[in-house]
A = this chain, B = another copy of it.
Amino acid sequence: MTQRKKTGFQDVRNEVLRRIEDRHWPQGALLPTELELAAEFGCARATVNRALRELADRGIIDRKRKSGTRVAMTPVKQAKLDIAVVRQQIEEINATYRYALVMRQQITAPAWLASQVGLQADAQVLHLHCMHYADNRPFQFEERWINIAAVPEVGEADFKAVGPNEWLLSEMPFSNAEITFLAIAANDQMSEFLTCPPGAPLFQMERTTWFQQQPVTFVRMTFHPGYRMSTQY
């Protein structure tokens, strides 16, 4: 008896994955049916189903009723990006985090913002400038607009001690969002706050957040020169 444990869905998943990597099942190949695999591995069809469903979620295989399961033609098409709060990012590299509020004012939403997130022309928004430091060196410049109608309590928050990102996270338990990444040239303001020459290339991330169809906030985060965002898959 060399086998102590039963065949689990992870065993099935890994073995199927191995056969795909080995090209035992090349791209586009038709896999055995769930029933056949269950028989081969000596487990229930539900176990095979879960294994294959995970691979399908990861884009490794394509499944269609009646047609069966095939190895995907373009393997690995998704990467997961961890969207960390700035403070976490900084603490993870063992640096000391410091936050500073630069500006806070209530304004009528500018036209570009209203159109960007879908606001009425006369909507009131809170406009903020913040800085985040790692070991007292500039890490990220944050420019944010908050839809006051969506978050009335924001009027009470002065954001002097805690940044708007963390404040909103504790007020808005869940929401959907759109993120954009791009490269920009430092303008005079960025140059000053991030201590880099004007025109220096900077990595920027924009995010619009909605809560139940209603726009909540739009934020533009500009990172220090040389910042790199990494992930694996």
Which A residues have a C-beta under 8 Å from some C-beta of B? Answer: 17, 20-21, 23, 26-27, 60, 71, 74-85, 169-170, 173-185, 199-204, 211-212, 226-233
Please name the 5 residue pairs, one residue from A and one from B, whose CB atoms are nearest each other, closest first.
A183-B183, A201-B201, A183-B201, A183-B203, A180-B230
A226 to chain B, nearest CB (A): 8
Q: What separation, in Å, do the CA atoms of A183 and B183 have in the docked complex?
A: 5
- The answer to whether A183 and B202 touch across the interface, beta carbons within 8 angstroms, is yes
B contact residues around A212 at 8 Å (CB): 21
From B78, B173, B177, give the contact of A80 (CB < 8 A). Answer: B78
Number of chain copies forming the complex = 2
Q: Are A203 and B181 CB-contacts (below 8 A) given A20-B174, A21-B174, A173-B71?
A: yes
A-B contact pairs, 29 of them (CB 8 A): A20-B174, A21-B211, A27-B173, A71-B173, A74-B85, A74-B169, A75-B174, A75-B175, A76-B83, A77-B83, A78-B80, A78-B82, A78-B83, A79-B83, A79-B179, A80-B80, A80-B81, A81-B231, A177-B233, A178-B232, A179-B232, A180-B230, A181-B228, A181-B229, A182-B228, A183-B204, A184-B201, A199-B199, A201-B202
